[in-house]
Homo-oligomer: A and B are copies of this chain.
């Protein structure tokens, strides 16, 4: 959802990335290289990021992980949580989503051992980063025509994952964004899902005029 991250940041929203793990090991990476690459990517996106420090490839949905993330939510006090779509082939993604869903609730509890002041993120919205070849049914899309290049550039920061790129991942990401662009009549768009009904205070940001 890199295009939306850049867009929201430009529109004045505070956006903070949380890496649930350090992303390593991978075939050709190392914790140091990955840290450098992800810092660079955050810079491209124009936002800050924090590593929560769960164990890559072994993320488990348990109370400890929930409370660890809840404590971080109390620090940054977000209104909206963006988390991976719940149906995925990557075990860590699935676990992360379950942790985040529960941590959102845990963060508002009083009389708990979780550090910090109670805080309740108002909404949880899912972005599509799945390792499954799902046909996404988005609740809404965000027009990212103006920020597609930053999105692509942030992905290409991960030079240690070069083989993945060569196998067509970059092209696939662009194709998916172009397709959802065709669905809302813009050049590029990113799809989002919400279990909850979407409420609007007006239609001024609805994409109406087509290309």
Which residues of A are interface residues toward B (Cβ below 8 A)? 7-8, 11, 13, 25-27, 57-58, 60, 62-63, 66, 79-80, 87, 89-91, 94, 101-102, 104-106, 109-112, 122-124, 131-143, 167-168, 172, 175-176, 178-186, 189, 191, 195-211
Chain B contacts for A204, CB-based, 8 A? 11, 205
Apart from A134-B195, A141-B199, A143-B200, list 20 A-B contacts with CB within 8 A.
A8-B203, A11-B204, A13-B203, A26-B110, A26-B111, A89-B124, A91-B105, A134-B183, A135-B135, A141-B200, A142-B200, A172-B182, A176-B182, A183-B196, A183-B199, A184-B196, A184-B197, A185-B199, A186-B199, A189-B199
Let me know if B197 and A141 touch, CB within 8 A: yes
Partner of A205, one of B13, B167, B178, B200: B200
Shortest C-beta distance, A203 to chain B (Å), equals: 7
Let me know if A27 and B110 touch, CB within 8 A: yes
Chain B contacts for A200, CB-based, 8 A? 140-143, 205-207
